Each structure stands twice: as structure tokens, then as C-alpha cells.
Amino acid sequence: MSAPDVPGAAHLAARIDAAPPYRSGVPTITDVAALAGVSPMTVSRVLHGGKNVRPDKVKLVTDAVATLGYRRNENARSIRPGQRTGLVGVIITNVSNPYYAEVQQGIEEVLSAEEMRILVGNSGDDVAKERALVDDFVGRQVDGLIVVPSSGGELDGAGAGGAEHLEAVQLARIPLVLASRELPGIHADTVLIDDVTGAYEGAKRLIAEGHTRIAYIGNLVSVFTSRRRFDGFTRAHEEAGLTVDPLLVRAGPNDSAAARGAMLDLLGLEQPPTAVFSANNRNTVGVLRAIVDAGLDPRAIRIIGFDSVELSDVMPFDLSVIDHDARELGRTAGRMIVDRSSGIPRSAPARIVELPTRLIVN
């Protein structure tokens, strides 16, 4: 097996030995070129549309591609300057919330039409994890980033409290879109739900029905949307000359279990509320569960919930919802990325879009 002393043969053996054992069998453009009997450059041209290549060579190449099962290495391609990766990083807090699943669907719908793909990460509403994901995605040379910002960072009220990683993204001139939530100090394309108006109209409706003691369940401390919704809730009260009873405001919950606890607590008050405003779909689920668990007649209390809840219209509760189009929110975010990465210059001012809500009374 050792190379004989014949120069030519030795050279060949060396080439074979050099045929790297690590070459995992995945064919490269060079393999295609060799099989087709052309240069790699010609193969590249054919792959890019075959402009300015003789038809017979085109056929040679396409055949070689087919027999070898060749696929372009997108990563190698993208290290060259000026080449896009076609990758967009998507960071959401939690896909198992149907709302965010719907947002992701909308994003994917728009981007896949542009042959772009999404890298998805769940932050779990944890700023540290969000930061790690951003770093990773940037390292993978994404063409854009869509983020539902984690709420944790807002706690300290500082400028862009804990959002330096997103500032860095902008410094690197990577298009950034904030979805569903704004972030103080970060000036980026943003798509929101019109939380204030939606909540205002929901609360107004309850007040019109005669309710004066309306509870509010939603995390006002750290969740941007919940604070906005509370603003609308409060405004409706003010307009009607009512005041919001602080005892009826449960500012903690942001998941169904916590909301259930808060609701059970409210039901145990000396003077319980006659209606409840729930700040999001997870909380609404918790509220409903509390009512059932407390053994109450499901219609004993009026409920209005932000976001939709599947089958809310057939449930035995006195439940209305403030609905909106989560998928359209995702689509809008996707379009913003597409616009920025072609078309609209990076330096154009940030756009802020607010999507409407629709009150569905049951």
C-alpha cells in the first residue's frame, strides 16, 4: 500500500490519500465540476441561471448535479461579502401559547414566500436567554431579527434597561423588528396590538352593562401589553366617572395558574367583583378554571378577556373577548424585515404599526 517510487503513480496515490477522509461524502461544487468535465465556475453559473453558458454544458452540469445529489452549501456561500443568508432570527417568549404560535405562523408565511427561513428560539421571558439567542443568531449572520422582547429587563426602569443586546443589533445594522411589545430606549420597527383602545372598549362595554366593580387581572409590573391594557381599562372608568378599586386589581399573574389563584382570591372577598377583565388568554383560562373550581355557576360572573380563547363562544360562561389577528401581526413583522433588507433603506425612520382589535360579545 505504500507509494511506489514511480513518480507519476506516487503523485496519484498522494492525491488519493489527500482525498480527505473527513469529506463526509457530501458532494461539493468541485465534485460536480469534475464529473461534468467543466470548471467549478461554470457549475456556479449554471446554478445561478445558466446565463452565458452553452446549452450542452448546462446539460452536462445539471446531469452531474442530479446524479451526485449536489446541494449548494449555503453557509460557505454566505461567508462571502454582500451575500445574504436568507435567515431571520425569531425570538418569542413561548410558542406553546397559541397566540405566539399564530404570530410565528404569520412570520413564516411571509418569509417563506421570499425563500427566507426562520431560526426560532424561546426566551421564556428571560432576558438572559434572550440575549444569548440574539448573540447566537447574530453569529449566524441572520438578515434580520424579530423579537418579542422579554419583560424582565423593564423592571429597573433605566433607559434601555437590559436591552443593550438589542442596541448592539442595531449598531451592527441588522434589521430589527419588535413584535407585540415595545422597549424603552430601543428605536426600531415595531408592530403592536392597539391594546389601549381594545381594553378601553372592553371595559366601556362592561360599564355600559352596569358593572361598577370590575376586577383587573394581569401583570402590570413587567408586561408591556398588560400595562397598556390597564391604561385603556382605567380610561374607560374615568370617562364614566368611576374609579378603579385597587383591591380589585391583581397586578401579578401572567399565566393561567397564577390567574386562577388571583381569581379565587377575588371571589373570596367580602365584596367580590361582579365582572373581571383578564389581560390575556392565559389569564382568562385561569379565571374560568377558578370559577369552576370554586363551584360557582359559570354565569355568575361577567368576564371579558383580551386575546381570543378557542371556542369561547360556545362555553357556558358569560365571556366576551377582545380579539385581534395574531397571524397578521406576524405577517406584518415579516414584511417589515423584508422591506428593510431590500427596498427601504436601513436608515429610514422606524415604523410603528398598531393593529386593531375587535370586541366579540357573547
Partner DNA sequence: TTGTACGCGTTATCAG
Partner DNA sequence: CTGATAACGCGTACAA
73 binds DNA (CB under 7 A): yes
CB of 20 to DNA, least distance (A): 5
Q: CA 233, CA 197: separation in Å to the nearest integer?
A: 9
CB of 129 to DNA, least distance (A): 23
CB of 119 to DNA, least distance (A): 18
E strand or H helix that includes residue 287: helix 281-293
Between residue 124 and residue 153, which ones bind a second copy under the rule CB under 8 A? 135-141
Q: CA 51, CA 129: separation in Å to the nearest integer?
A: 46
Q: Is 360 exposed, middle or buried (0-12, 13-18, 19+ CB in 10 A)?
A: middle
- Torsion sign (Cα): 100, 101, 103, 104: positive
Contact 304, 273 (CB under 8 A): no
Give the interface segment with DNA, choosing from 36-44, 84-92, 163-171, 288-296 (CB under 7 A). Answer: 36-44
52 binds DNA (CB under 7 A): yes
Which residue, 85 or 234, is less far from a second copy as judged by CB?
Answer: 85
Give the interface segment with a second copy, choosing from 3-11, 58-66, 94-102, 241-249 (CB under 8 A). Answer: 94-102
Q: Which of 13, 58, 101, 344 binds a second copy (CB under 8 A)?
A: 101
Residue 54 binds: one of a second copy, DNA, none (C-beta under 5 to 8 A by kind): DNA
Which residue, 26 or 158, is less far from DNA as judged by CB?
Answer: 26
Of 18, 340, 357, the C-alpha closest to 10 is 18
Q: Which of 47, 315, 344, 359 binds a second copy (CB under 8 A)?
A: 315
Contact 322, 307 (CB under 8 A): yes
Q: CA 197, CA 325: separation in Å to the nearest integer?
A: 15
54 binds a second copy (CB under 8 A): no
Of 173, 293, 278, 182, the C-alpha closest to 233 is 278
User: How many Cβ atoms sit within 10 Å of the Cβ of residue 245?
Assistant: 15
Give the interface segment with DNA, choosing from 23-31, 95-103, 153-161, 327-335 (CB under 7 A). Answer: 23-31
User: How many Cβ atoms sit within 10 Å of the Cβ of residue 266?
Assistant: 21
Of 173, 174, 100, the C-alpha closest to 142 is 174
Point out which residues bind a second copy (CB under 8 A).
20, 22-26, 69, 71-76, 78-79, 81-82, 85, 87, 94-96, 98, 101-102, 104-105, 108-109, 112, 115, 117-122, 135-141, 168, 171-173, 285, 288-289, 292, 298, 309-311, 313-316, 327
Which residues make up the interface to DNA (CB under 7 A)? 20, 23, 26, 28-30, 38-42, 44-45, 47-48, 52-54, 57, 72-73, 76-77, 79-83
